């Protein structure tokens, strides 16, 4: 059993497990070298030998306890036939949503488009560097995928009121969940040992709408993931009530963001906690960075805790700081 899984299953661990969201990416010079020669992000993700190399790059540098696949949550819209592009210094751009095409996309088309990701997982899971470590697969949460597919978010990160109650809304939600399940099942069957569910836009939704758009769809996806025999870690970024989320959705572990009070989380949530530290702390000098890390380690010392961040590693992060932090967490008693 891996350190990460032992922690999630509330077993005794020899040290605090640690990994980072976006640990494979822009802050590593070896990644930038690959990226400079492969400018199309989608093609790079769908190139199993290269995406495998990117996935394991952080494990070659740091004593971390898991790899997370080099992929993106927007491969669900991509698999459903919506155009997806990644523009430098802007981010993802999705084409106009063709409801008829998306709702009638057969499973065979979804699998055909996503098969390179499953090949990536299959070949990566056999790497010796992953012995006794986890290979984390992931999906976007239903709500976040729907927000992207409908193109209803402004540059100022505000929701367009027209996002609600589309004529085909119920069918679209069911189709997204169906595609999520296909994607999760095939990731697990090819070697993913944990699934993380990213709800990047959870914090934008009004309280009275959370049950319909976040809690119930995510609960269904979490239950499905658990039925496959793997743990589901959820990251509902900036959600107002982590306790309510955990009580309803019941993930195996919960990743918290850096704007929530970790002391309240420790007091109110009983399942294993992951993350919390602001990624900007990795841009500080060594002493300040470790002071921030120690705060989380002390708060959760009597709680099952996986060290991670409250968002992904930033591009300007110095890899030397990541190594210092990892070694500090591993030596913490």
Is residue 195 within 8 Å of residue 184, measured between CB atoms? Answer: yes
Q: What is the mean pLDDT of residues 197-216?
A: 95
Q: What is the mean pLDDT of residues 250-272?
A: 97
pLDDT of residue 154: 60
- Residue 301 has a CB neighbour count (10 Å cut-off) of 12
Task: Measure the N-to-C terminal CA separation of the chain; round to a whole number of Å.
Answer: 21
The pLDDT tens digits for 49-101 are 999 999 999 999 999 999 999 999 999 999 999 999 987 767 788 999 999 99
How many structural domains does the chain have?
A: 1
pLDDT of residue 166: 79
**For the CA atoms of the chain, what is the radius of gyration?**
19
Question: Given the DSSP bridges, would you call strands 134-140 and 91-94 parallel, antiparallel or unpaired?
Answer: unpaired
Retrieve residue 206's tokens. Answer: 């009004």
Q: What share of the chain is helix, strand, coil (3-state, %, to 5)?
A: 50, 15, 35
Helix 319-331 × helix 286-299 angle, to 10°:
40
Is residue 325 within 8 Å of residue 19, measured between CB atoms? Answer: no
The pLDDT tens digits for 6-35 are 999 999 999 999 999 999 999 999 999 999
Is residue 123 within 8 Å of residue 48, measured between CB atoms? Answer: yes
Is residue 235 within 8 Å of residue 218, measured between CB atoms? Answer: no
Residue 284, domain CATH: 3.20.20.210
- Residue 34 has a CB neighbour count (10 Å cut-off) of 17
The answer to whether residue 167 scores a pLDDT higher than 90 is no
Retrieve residue 87's tokens. Answer: 């523009």
Distance CA 232, CA 230 (A): 7
Retrieve residue 18's tokens. Answer: 């640690």
pLDDT of residue 162: 72
Among the ranges given (78-92, 129-143, 150-164, 293-307), the one the predictor scored with the smallest mean pLDDT = 150-164
Distance CA 327, CA 61 (A): 11
Q: For residue 155, what pLDDT band results from cuts at 50, 70 and 90?
A: low
Q: Which residues are CB-contacts of 169 (< 8 A; sequence separation ≥ 6)?
A: none
- By residue range, what is the domain housing residue 76? 3-331
Tokens 């996935």 — which residue? 55
Residue among 327, 329, 320, 259 at smallest CA distance from 300: 329
SS3 call for 295: helix
pLDDT of residue 113: 98
Mean of pLDDT over the chain = 95
pLDDT of residue 323: 98
């Amino acid at each position: 059993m891996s350190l990460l899984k032992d922690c999630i299953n509330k077993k005794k661990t020899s040290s605090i497990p640690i990994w980072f969201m976006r640990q494979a990416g822009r802050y590593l010079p070896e990644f930038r070298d690959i990226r400079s020669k492969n400018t199309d992000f989608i093609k790079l993700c769908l190139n199993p030998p290269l995406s495998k190399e990117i996935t394991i790059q952080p494990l070659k540098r740091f004593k971390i306890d898991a790899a997370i696949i080099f992929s993106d949550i927007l491969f669900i819209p991509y698999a459903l036939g919506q155009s997806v592009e990644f523009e430098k210094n802007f981010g993802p751009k999705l084409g106009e949503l063709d409801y008829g095409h998306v709702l009638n996309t057969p499973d065979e088309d979804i699998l055909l488009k996503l098969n390179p990701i499953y090949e990536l997982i299959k070949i990566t899971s056999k790497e010796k560097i992953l012995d006794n470590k986890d290979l984390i697969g992931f999906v976007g949460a239903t709500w976040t995928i729907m927000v992207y597919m409908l193109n209803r978010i402004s540059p100022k990160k505000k929701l367009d009121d027209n996002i609600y109650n589309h004529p085909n809304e119920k069918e679209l939600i069911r189709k997204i969940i169906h595609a999520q399940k296909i994607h999760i099942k095939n990731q697990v069957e090819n070697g993913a040992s944990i699934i993380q569910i990213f709800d990047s836009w959870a914090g934008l939704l009004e309280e009275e709408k959370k049950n319909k758009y976040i809690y119930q769809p995510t609960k269904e996806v979490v239950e499905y993931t658990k039925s496959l025999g793997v743990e589901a870690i959820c990251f509902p970024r900036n959600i107002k009530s982590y306790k309510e989320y955990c009580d309803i959705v019941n993930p195996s572990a919960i990743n918290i963001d850096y704007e929530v009070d970790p002391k309240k989380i420790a007091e109110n949530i009983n399942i294993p906690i992951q993350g919390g530290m602001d990624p900007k702390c990795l841009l500080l000098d060594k002493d300040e960075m470790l002071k921030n890390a120690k705060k989380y380690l002390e708060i959760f010392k009597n709680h099952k805790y996986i060290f991670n961040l409250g968002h992904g590693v930033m591009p300007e992060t110095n890899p030397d700081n990541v190594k210092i932090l990892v070694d500090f967490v591993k030596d913490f008693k």
